[in-house]
Amino acid sequence: MTSYPAPIKPTHTRIGWIGTGIMGGAIASRLLSAGYSVTVYARNPSKVVCLKSQGAHLADSPADVARNTDVIFTMLGHPSDVRQIVLEGLLSSVNPNSVIIDHTSSHPVLAKQIFEAAREKNCWTVDAPVSGADIGAREGKLAIFAGGNEDVVKWLKPLFDVLGKATFVGGPGKGQSCKIANQIVAGGSLLGLSEGLVFVEKAGLDNRKFVEAVKGVKGGAAGSMIMELFGERMIERDFRPGGFTEYIVKDLGMGFDVGAEEGDNIVPLPGAALSKQLFSAMVANGDGKLGIQGLITVIERIRQVRS
């Protein structure tokens, strides 16, 4: 058993994992490949067949995960899931000095509540949402926004290094606030890329040559990680999800209510409001389970490029 602050080692540290969707399954797989013992809980056991083939142990319940592990990762869909699984579930069964890392894009206020509840149980939580899509999850190149206790975040570095690069951004809830800001920027960038590609097509240009020219050897001003991740997918009409569109609608929505719930003035976010409206149009069109690169389909509908 390895509990904080004893050093983390694959031979001693027992990992728990809850949430085996597109991103969660890929990240758990990396931890298994790094030699860690991983115990997984999934409501649908068929989702963890691949992880079991890598050596993962299957738990009967979240409580079973909590009792038999030292560091527990969660990557769930919505804040309501986090409240149910973590605040109302895991914390009643965790071992002293264990650590719960929540990779879910959730609400900063909820993250603070969970941190405070964890300290009452003599354990720790870190809100650590990620960015980098499914490619980053598979390749271990995720950006991890870590909020909580800085010493605990530093202690977790051997695990975070398997997944990508973790940056301590502040106290409890700050990881979630950082992810919301990330989504505001990403949403605006996807909108710009979508409009650029639609314009290129209408202008009779080759869209691949446009992307190649903008990225260039050193990168044009409009080149970005968004273009790297999603440009080719948009051109190929590959809308398979690295993260569901309905989730970025959730994330952008949290940007508007964080200030209100914390008793502060709401930050004016006109660009994020437009992005949320357009992503919401995707959901209304029945495309909420597509990847966020599908935003181009909304622009195409507006401009009647495609039926």
Determine how many CB atoms are found less than 10 A away from the CB of residue 276: 22
Helix segments in the chain, DSSP class H: 22-33, 49-53, 62-67, 79-82, 108-120, 133-139, 150-155, 157-163, 174-202, 207-215, 225-235, 245-261, 270-284, 295-303
**Which has the closest alpha carbon to 85: 73, 68, 97?**
73
Q: How many CB atoms lie within 10 A of CB 94?
A: 26
SS3 73: strand
Largest CA distance in the chain: 63
**Which amino acid makes up residue 249?**
V
Alpha carbon distance 45, 67 (integer Å): 20
Cα separation, 233 vs 212, whole angstroms: 14
Instruction: Give the separation between CA 203 and CA 274, rounded to whole angstroms.
Output: 25
Contact 172, 62 (CB under 8 A): no
Catalytic choice (112, 165, 174, 179): 179
What is d(CA 159, CA 182) in angstroms, rounded to the nearest whole number?
Answer: 22
- Residue 52 appears among annotated catalytic residues: no
Taking alpha carbons only, the member of 23, 17, 104, 86 closest to residue 52 is: 17
Catalytic residue positions, numbered: 179
